[in-house]
Amino acid sequence: MSGYFADVAALARKDLLLELRARDTLPAMLLFVSAALVIFHFALPSGTGELAGLGLLWVAIVFTALLGLSRAFVAEREHGVLDGLVLAPSDRSAIWLGKSLAALTFLALAEIIALPLFALFFSGIDAGTVAAVALADVGICAVGVFVAAMSIATRARELLLPVIFLPLAIPVIVGGVGASVTDSPGRYFAFLALYDALFATICWASFEYVVTE
Amino acid sequence: MLLGAAIAMIGFYVPLDQDGLNQMIFYFHVPIAVTAYACFGWGAWKGFLHLWKQKPGADLESYVAIHQGVIFAALTLVTGSIWGRYRWGQWWLWSSKQLVLFLVLFLFYAAYFMLRFSVEPGPRRANLSAVYAIFGVVLIPVSFLAIRLASDYIHPVAFDKHGPQMADSQFLTFCVSLAAMLSLFSALYRLELAGKRIDAHLRELRELLG
């Protein structure tokens, strides 16, 4: 089992190093989320209230994640790395887990900038929202990386990722917005945790079938 | 198989329609919705069999079941919308949780076709489709829960949509209608499956000849 986690760590490290050298994804995500927040300022007429802003924050998070996820397997595809990884003598689900951890890191870094920016532009953010964002990120990255792996196997490529991902992300939005706007966020946390656990399990169990023939 | 549908048609004339048209559409709407769930469940089960036992043909069966399921889901949306028009005076109400769930499912399963038809036929496509079908079955209860939770902060006032309690004759009609819809599904399922199999055989033959 320790070998499995070593594989996962190596794969995640590879992605982080690649990003550190090429700086492809993260700057784009940061610019995207900042621009989206500026757009929200103009999209919300005065008197809309801060609850609407909190709802839009979740839209921004999901779409920023989508932007990062659409790049998740591009390097692998262009250089045929995925075939090599599949042939490597390790469990295939390690590919998914490593990639999810890398995607989670990117998303978390983007949010470390985006959340204070949101607090600055709109309204303050309470601890409940931050906790909900952290919980939701896990689910978003787990499912998103899985769907990204599916979509690179198709002709439609990146086009398919949002089409499949958005219906799957509706429960995350519900849990996240619920936790941000209500006074008793407990059951929304529980729901997000349930979503994470459930979908992470089936992603982990069925990833092998996505990358092999 | 068509016999079941015929029985249902007779069944529609049996109960007293105290509520007029929307009572009648109820006998269509709910069985169609249940049938759509059955289709998706059956599709996921076949997908599961494909992945687990590599059962030949399970992929095609899974596809056909989901294809039927999407048709039934679209019908659910249409009949539900008509029902809402007569019951509440509006074509679309976000407070009707079942309908919202069907909208989510419809979007999700519509993407199934995009996925399936942008992959070359072969084991890859079969695997992806099967995994997607299993995802759908997990998404159904999760979305249902999500929509229930969401209604708490979107519509604080609960919308009680339970109509009058069903009398025996109404319940009987409902059951007959449900049976009719399920048999309609299984008939369509076999028909489409047979068609698709003949198609595949023809293609094989043509390749052998050509």
**pLDDT value of residue B24:** 66
Q: What separation in angstroms does the CA of A133 have from each of A32, A65, A179?
A: 18, 12, 9
The tokens for A180 are: 């941000």
Which has the higher per-residue pLDDT, A1 or A50?
A50
The answer to whether residue A123 scores a pLDDT higher than 70 is yes
Tell me how far apart the alpha carbons of residues A197 and A200 are, in angstroms, rounded to a whole number: 5
A195 close to B (CB below 8 A): yes
The answer to whether residue A156 scores a pLDDT higher than 90 is no
Tokens 């006074």 correspond to A183
Region A32-43: mean pLDDT is: 90
A160 close to B (CB below 8 A): yes
**pLDDT value of residue B177:** 74
- Contact pairs from chain A to chain B, CB under 8 Å: 91
pLDDT tens by residue, B111-139: 999 998 888 888 888 899 999 999 999 99
Tokens 């008939």 correspond to B187
Q: What is the mean pLDDT of each run of 10 residues along chain B (210 residues)?
A: 55 52 70 88 91 85 91 88 77 77 91 89 88 91 86 54 56 74 82 86 85
**pLDDT value of residue A196:** 94
pTM over 0.95: no
Which has the higher per-residue pLDDT, A184 or B77?
B77
**pLDDT value of residue A117:** 92
The answer to whether residue A84 scores a pLDDT higher than 70 is yes
**pLDDT value of residue B22:** 59
Chain A residues in contact with B153 (beta carbon < 8 A)? 177-178, 181-182
Tell me how far apart the alpha carbons of residues A42 and B158 are, in angstroms, rounded to a whole number: 33
Average pLDDT over chain A reads 89
**pLDDT value of residue B155:** 52
**pLDDT value of residue B157:** 42
A181 close to B (CB below 8 A): yes
**pLDDT value of residue B12:** 56
B139 close to A (CB below 8 A): yes
**pLDDT value of residue B170:** 67
pLDDT tens by residue, B79-121: 888 877 777 777 777 777 778 888 999 999 999 999 988 888 8
Tell me how far apart the alpha carbons of residues A16 and A31 are, in angstroms, rounded to a whole number: 19
Res. A198 pLDDT band, cuts 50 70 90: very high
Among A168, A178, A209, beta carbon nearest to B139:
A168
**pLDDT value of residue B174:** 73
